[in-house]
A and B are shown apart, each in its own frame.
Chain A
Amino acid sequence: MTRLSIRGVGVVGGFGCGLEAFDRALVSGVASTMQVTPVPGNESVLRSAFLADTAPLEEFLNKRALRRIDHFSRLALLGSHLALQDAGMLGAIPERVGLVIASGYGALRTTFSFLDSIIEDGDSCASPTHFSNSVHNAAAAHVAIKLNIGGPNLTVSQFEMSVSSALLTAQLWLEEGRVDHVVFGGVDEYSAVLGYCWERFLGSESTEEMAPFDLARQTALVGEGSAFFVLSREETASPYGAIDRVSLGHLSGGLPILPKDPVYILGADGHRQCSAKYPELVPQGASVASYAPLYGSLPVGQAFDLAAAALAMRDGRLCATPGHVAEETDWQIVGTEELGQRDICCLKMDDNGGYGFLTVTKGRG
C-alpha cells in the first residue's frame, strides 16, 4: 500500500497548543491537568482532567468567524491550522486535498445542549445552530470551509478504532490517486455529561496519576484535544517519517503479523479492561512506551501517539513513559534513549479484542 508521508503535525490538548508544547511535555514527562466537578451541584467532588484551550485559534480566525463554531469544531480547526502551518501549506492549499476526521464521541457538548434545549423549551424552540453543530461531520465541514479544502470529506467514528479506521480511508484515497494530500486528524472533547458518566462508572477508582503499564489497575483520567497531520504520497523523505502500514482487525480472526522488533507506543490509557488485552498481542520483551499520561484517555488517543512517533522520528530519540511506571512487566519500558533504526508501531486495543495499529518508519526518497 501507499506509504503516507507525514508533512505536518498540529496538536492541542491538556499539554498546551502546538508541537513545541507537546514536545516539552514529552521531554519533561510532566502532565498538566485541571480540576473538573463531575457531579452537578456538588463542588466538593473534584477530578483531574486533561482539558484543551482553543484560544490560540484567534491567531488564525477572528472572533466573528468563530461565533457559531463550538468547542469540538474549534479543536478540529486549531489542530488542522497548526498541521497545515507546520507543512508550509497554510494559505496555499493545493486543489486536490481531502479531509478525514476521526472521533470516538463527536461533538458531545453541543449534542447534549441540543437535547437539553428540546427537553427544556420543546422541539419547536430547539436551536438550529446547535443541531447543525451536533452532527458528527460538522467539524469537518467547518474545517473544509475555513481552510478551503475542496476534496472529499469524511468523518469516521468507530470509538477506539476511529483513528486506524480513518487512516485506512486516507491511505485509500492517496493510493487511488483521488487526492494528492490528506488533512487527517483525531478529535474528542470533554463534556459535563462525559464527566458525570466517568464519575458514575469509575468514580470509586479515581486516581490522580495515570499508570498505563499497571495493567490490572484502573488509572485513566479523561482527556480532550485534537491531533492533525498533513499526509501525502511519499515522493521525498519527511523528517517526521511515513506511515508504512495501517491495520485494523479483531483477535478472533487470529493474531496479525506485526512489524519486526519495533518500538511500540501503546494506546494503553489506564482503562483496565482494554489494558488487559495488550499482552495478547505485544510479545514479551518488546520495547514499549505510553504517552497517554500527557494527554489523558480519549478514544482518539492513537492520533496523539502518532504525533509522538512523528516527533521521535524527527529527533531520532524516544522519550520516557511519563507518570508511574510499573516495576513488574514482561516488556522493556523505554526510557529516554536513541531511536536508532527502529520503526514505531502505534497500537490501540479495545476491551473486546479489536485492534488497530500503524507503523511509522523513517522517510525515504
Chain B
Amino acid sequence: MAIKEKLKKILVEELNLEDMTAEEIEDSTPLFGEGLGLDSLDAVELVVLIQKHFGIEIQDMEEGREAFESVETLAGFIDERLKG
C-alpha cells in the first residue's frame, strides 16, 4: 500500500474519524484546524502512530510541524526518512 493511502487509513481508523472515509481525505487537506480538524492531542498520537507503523521517530517538533501540514507533506517526510 502506498504511503499516502496507508496514512489516510491510519488517520481514519486510529484517530477514530468516524465521520469520514480514507478515500474522502485529499492529499493536500490540512491535518489540523479547518482541514481534518485534528488537535494537539492528535499530534502526539500521530507521532506515536508514525513510529509504530513506519518505525520513524519524530523527536524534533519543528521538523514534525512542517511534516504534519497534510497527508502529502507527511508522506513525503516518511518517504525521505525511509530512504535516508
Contacts and interface: CB of A to CB of B under 8 A. Distances in A.
Nearest to A120: B52
Interface string B11-50: 0000111110000000000000000010001001100100
Q: Residue among B15, B17, B45 with the most chain A CB within 10 A?
A: B45
Interface string A111-138: 0000000000100111111001000000
Contacts, number: 30
Nearest to B14: A127
A129 B45 contact: yes
Interface residues of A, number: 14
Contacts of A63: 18-19
A128 B19 contact: no
B52 A121 contact: yes
Contacts of B52: 121, 125
Contacts of B37: 64
A128 B41 contact: yes
Contacts of A126: 48
Contact of A129 (B17, B18, B19, B41): B41
Given A64-B37, A121-B52, A128 B45 contact: yes
Contacts of B15: 67
A96 interface: no
Nearest to B48: A125
A200 interface: no
A132 B44 CA distance: 12
B48 A127 contact: yes
A21 B17 CA distance: 31
A68 interface: yes
17 contacts: A62-B19, A63-B19, A64-B18, A64-B19, A66-B18, A67-B15, A67-B17, A68-B41, A121-B52, A124-B48, A124-B51, A125-B51, A126-B48, A127-B45, A127-B48, A128-B41, A129-B45
